[in-house]
A and B are shown apart, each in its own frame.
Chain A
Amino acid sequence: MNIIVCAKEVVDVSEIKTDPKTNKPILQGIDKKISDIDKNAVEEGVRIKEKLGGKVTVLSVGPSEAREYIKELLAMGADEAKIIPYADTGDYNVVSTILAGAINNLGYDIILCGEASIDLFSGQTGPRLAQKLGIPQITYAKKLEPKEDTITADRDLGDKKVTMESSYPVLISVTKEINEPRLPSLMQILGAANKPIEVIAHSSLVSEETSVLERIDIKGVSMERKNIIYKDDIDDAIGKLVENLAKDGVLG
């Protein structure tokens, strides 16, 4: 089974603060990591390999210094990695075009992606990639049952649950609930140093980078307290509170 997992380096969004004056996120000095859900995808890839045999290749479009983070995925059990340096990973159309270009040069049975990256959370790269490759896709998988010729996936669609089956090749995006990514042991971390990481220039993969995303601004969500205290009679107070919440559109 040839398994490709797409993984993205992101800033650790839990550490981001916004500049109080401009309301823009301060990205300097923020730790980076592999997007959490992409780690779930790697874990699932390694589990499929453990069950059916084969090879797991990590593919990452992002800054080339991501080696340190990519090595973590190799320590988890991926066999090799290919990094395609590209500075602006925010445009899902460009990223999926680059990924498709790289994947076309590789053999594959399953492509695994996280349902979305934790930084921009567009959730579009996976589906666009499947469309560009012209292969079936299953999104939001929370359980996979891989067999020799087909794979079954339980999908969580919020209000309903669906089970789907596909032949290979197929692209599957996974949710965070699908598994608990393993922690590599010290020996596996040391072993990862010997696994190959190839750097591929993006210019060799796409002739025309069609950016579809126009970025107007990135701002933090400001949460200011109104500090209104309702002191009157309790029934009156509840009435006023509900009225004000409704006015603010907080109540449906």
Chain B
Amino acid sequence: MDFELTDNQKMIRNMVRDFAEKEIEPVAAELDEKEEYPHDILKKMAGLGLLGIIVPSEYGGAGLDTVSYAIVIEEISKRCASTGVVTSVHNSLVSDPILKYGTEEQKKKYLPLLATGEKIGAFSATEANAGTDLGAMETTAILDGDHYVINGSKMFITSGSEAGIHIVFAITDKEAGYRGVSAFIVESNTDGFEVGSIFEKMGINASLTAELIFKDMRVPKGNLLGQEGQGFKIALGTLDGGRIGIAAQAVGIAQRALEESIEYSQQRQQFGRPISKFQAIQWKIADMATNIEAARLLLHRAAFAKDQGGHFSKEAAMAKLFASETAVKAALEGVQIHGGYGYIKEYVVERLFRDAKITEIYEGTSEAQRMVIAKNLLQ
């Protein structure tokens, strides 16, 4: 049993921490304010290998372990939760399933494009009427010669308008229920691929979230990911990994809230002394720190379990559930500790408060995580 990070993991943490402080922090508030996608940041991240963290070196990535991956997402999200989720989706929800379920040809074609950041990835599963209940999706894919013809629409797709490579889920067999869902690798320049609305959101405003519309979109047969009917399994398996990314994002948000609160409470004077001298503030800080530590341990444990190659669904769900609830609580307390200033946009806790909430919702709501955990315990 060893809770120490390896030398490599520490070096990666230090490098990403430096990078995020120098390159992300100065622009994060502005990107949020203007709802601008972090194109420049992603380009710089690609140069450092951060868009191909888990992709093996033969496909142009760094081939790192999942704990290192969690460290990267945490450090990025500490400075900008939007860039954090874009990076998480790109690595966990797009590169990872291609790596796991893709043919050698698909891997050779798409993984280097993703790992070098030439194309950003998006996971296009959610629909207007199919969120947690993915089996209720309505988008269809019908085989026509050498192509599948895809029709339908997708909702709330992170990086939807910016990504070049999408994992799209569609029904290939209406009669088969969730066994009739298939996954496809779709390039955004395919005819019939359209971007609909870009949604205005409460937080993570720099990660553009789009509606996608597919009209007779012809996707080569060779772009089917896995087998026909395997889509649901691919989606669930991929989301298990994605939850590690979102848990890491949540830990990053919570950690930032803690650091900002510690700093502010030691400077802010009321009744002739720093507010950190009051027990009311001390207890908040102690609880935040304890929850964050627990969340990070669950996160690293889930990441470690994924690398061991076994079943890690329960571990990932627990990490995501606990970390996201910790992020919301920490951001809430962060604003409270900052008092009136915490409600002002100039202070970063205001953004953390808006960014934290989504971690309890996307890639499986907290309710869905509890379902996954209970199912693992009671089946």
Do A and B pair up? The answer is: yes
- Interface presence of A235 (CB below 8 A): no
- Cross-chain contact A186 with B48 (CB below 8 angstroms): yes
Which residue from B8, B10, B49, B57 sits with its C-beta under 8 Å from A185?
B49
- Cross-chain contact A183 with B48 (CB below 8 angstroms): yes
Mask for B114-155, Cβ within 8 A of A = 1, else 0?
Answer: 000000000000000000000000000000000000000000
- Cross-chain contact A183 with B49 (CB below 8 angstroms): no
Chain A, Cβ-Cβ closest to B48: A185
Q: How large is the interface on B (under 10, 10 to 19, 20 to 34, 35 or more residues)?
A: 10 to 19
Which residue from B7, B12, B14, B18 sits with its C-beta under 8 Å from A186?
B12
Which residues on B sit within 8 Å (CB–CB) of A72? 11, 14-15
- Cross-chain contact A189 with B11 (CB below 8 angstroms): yes
- Interface presence of B170 (CB below 8 A): no
- Interface presence of B47 (CB below 8 A): yes
Least CB distance from B71 to A in Å reads 11
- Cross-chain contact B18 with A189 (CB below 8 angstroms): no
- Cross-chain contact A75 with B11 (CB below 8 angstroms): yes
Chain A, Cβ-Cβ closest to B19: A183
Which residue from A33, A71, A184, A185 sits with its C-beta under 8 Å from B7?
A71
Given A183-B19, A185-B49, A193 and B8 contact (CB-CB distance below 8 Å): yes
Least CB distance from B23 to A in Å reads 9
Bound-state CA distance A68–B14 (Å) is 11
- Interface presence of B53 (CB below 8 A): yes
Bound-state CA distance A187–B62 (Å) is 6
Which residue from A33, A183, A189 sits with its C-beta under 8 Å from B8?
A189
Bound-state CA distance A189–B18 (Å) is 14
B1-38 at interface with A (beta carbon < 8 Å): 7-8, 10-12, 14-15, 18-19
Chain A, Cβ-Cβ closest to B50: A186
- Interface presence of A67 (CB below 8 A): yes
Bound-state CA distance A97–B103 (Å) is 61
Chain B, Cβ-Cβ closest to A75: B11
Q: Which of A75, A187, A189, A192 has the most CB of B within 10 A?
A: A189
Given A186-B62, A187-B62, A190-B62, A71 and B48 contact (CB-CB distance below 8 Å): no
Bound-state CA distance A68–B8 (Å) is 8
- Interface presence of B361 (CB below 8 A): no
Least CB distance from B156 to A in Å reads 30
- Cross-chain contact B48 with A67 (CB below 8 angstroms): no
Which residues on B sit within 8 Å (CB–CB) of A68? 7, 10-11
Given A71-B11, A75-B11, A193-B8, A186 and B49 contact (CB-CB distance below 8 Å): yes
Bound-state CA distance A81–B53 (Å) is 27
Least CB distance from B11 to A in Å reads 5
Chain A, Cβ-Cβ closest to B23: A183
Which residue from A33, A67, A183, A193 sits with its C-beta under 8 Å from B15?
A183
- Interface presence of B64 (CB below 8 A): yes
Bound-state CA distance A15–B136 (Å) is 53
Which residues on B sit within 8 Å (CB–CB) of A184? 11, 15, 48
Q: Which of B11, B12, B19 has the most CB of A within 10 A?
A: B11
Bound-state CA distance A7–B10 (Å) is 19
Chain A, Cβ-Cβ closest to B12: A189
Which residues on A sit within 8 Å (CB–CB) of B15? 72, 75, 183-184, 186, 189
- Cross-chain contact B7 with A67 (CB below 8 angstroms): yes
Given A68-B7, A72-B11, A183 and B53 contact (CB-CB distance below 8 Å): no
Least CB distance from B252 to A in Å reads 18
B57-83 at interface with A (beta carbon < 8 Å): 57, 62-64
A residues touching B (Cβ–Cβ < 8 Å)? 33, 67-68, 71-72, 75, 183-187, 189-190, 192-193
A–B complex contacts, Cβ < 8 Å, 16 sampled = A68-B7, A72-B11, A183-B18, A183-B19, A184-B11, A185-B49, A186-B48, A186-B49, A186-B53, A189-B8, A189-B11, A189-B15, A190-B8, A192-B11, A193-B7, A193-B8
Inter-chain pairs besides A183-B48, A186-B62, A186-B64, 14 sampled, C-beta below 8 Å: A72-B14, A72-B15, A183-B15, A184-B11, A184-B48, A185-B47, A185-B62, A186-B15, A186-B50, A187-B62, A189-B15, A190-B62, A190-B64, A192-B11
B residues touching A (Cβ–Cβ < 8 Å)? 7-8, 10-12, 14-15, 18-19, 47-50, 53, 57, 62-64
Closest 10 CB pairs of A and B: A186-B49, A186-B62, A185-B49, A185-B48, A68-B7, A189-B11, A187-B49, A183-B15, A183-B19, A72-B11
